[in-house]
Amino acid sequence: MKNYPKWMCWLSVGIIAMAASCSNDNTQTATLQVRLTDAPGDYQEVNVDIQDVQINAEAGNSNSGWKSLNVRKGVYNLLKFTNGLDTLLGSIELPVGRVSQIRLVLGSNNAVKIAGQSISLATPSAQQSGLKILVNTDLRAGVTYKITLDFDAASSIVKTGNITYILKPVIHSVVEAESGAIKGMVDPVASTPAVYALSGTDTVETAYADQSTGKFLLKGLSAGNYKVSFAPKSGYLPKSVDNVSVTVGNVTDLGTVKISQ
């Protein structure tokens, strides 16, 4: 976290005003992280080839609306992510609203290790084109969400012969909000302030009031109390709002904040 002295904030108002004039109203997006975990299984390794994770924000089973995360492609040994451990597959910023499904796209390089021997897992083509998992979650502006894909390795591997196995993934999704946010609107809009969320003397998050609407959003905040400071352009007076409470999964609305001349 970075501490910005007050004098630096006031000296930078010219630059801030320019940045605000280019800013968009960013109050209608949320951040979604997708993580992978596993329940323990009676194997030495369970290696799954993950090539893509896609999010669908459309209702029902629509084939439109799929968006790919910036996924770390590769082979993951699921047994490294048991007993509370997980790994980040990727994240994406999405418009607020309902997220209905996740699609996990697998490659063909899947294997299980038993008694020191690595055995390829046959993977049905339907799973390589995308395994759909229902999530049905509503996203709120400025909040960071975590979707954990709980891959049940023990139930996902089916023995079909002496040394023949098929991968039939059994995956459960768990959705959790990870942060909160603060939103509001400045009046007059022409003051175009930079807006800071402060914890003690540390600046935790910075935003800019939109030039057209005056709206601002301080997102991705941990639960706690913050001071919200406004550094408007020349001709307007700085302002602060103390003891703004933030809770996980919620957006604290400051309403309209008056900026004086």
Per-residue H/E/C for the chain:
CECCCHHHHHHCHHHHHHHHHHCCCCCCEEEEEEEEEEECCCCCEEEEEEEEEEEECCCCCCCCCEEECCCCCEEEEHHHCCCCCCEEEEEEEEECEEEEEEEEEECCCCEEEECCEEEEEECCHHHHHCEEEEEEEEECCCCEEEEEEEEEHHHHEEECCCCCEEECCCEEEEEEECCEEEEEEEECHHHCCEEEEEECCEEEEEEECCCCCCEEEEEEECCEEEEEEEECCCCCCCEEEEEEEECCCCEEEEEEEECCC
Residue 153 — left, alpha, or beta (φ > 0 → left; ψ -120 to 50 → alpha)?
alpha
Distance CA 67, CA 242 (A): 39
Per-residue model confidence as pLDDT tens digits over 113-125: 998 999 999 887 6
Which of 120, 135, 116, 113 is CA-nearest to residue 53? 135
> What token pair was written down for 153?
């390795």
Query: Token pair of 230, please?
Result: 């406004």
pLDDT given at position 6: 45
Q: Which residue has the higher pLDDT, 76 or 129?
A: 76
The pLDDT > 70 percentage for the chain reads 85
Tens of pLDDT, residue by residue over 166-216, are: 988 888 888 999 999 999 999 999 999 999 999 998 999 999 999 999 999
Specify which of 24-28, 121-125, 224-228 reaches the highest per-range mean pLDDT. Answer: 224-228
**Per-residue pLDDT, 190:** 95
From the options 2.60.40.1120, 3.20.190.10, 3.40.50.10470, 3.40.50.300, give the CATH code of 6-27+180-258.
Answer: 2.60.40.1120
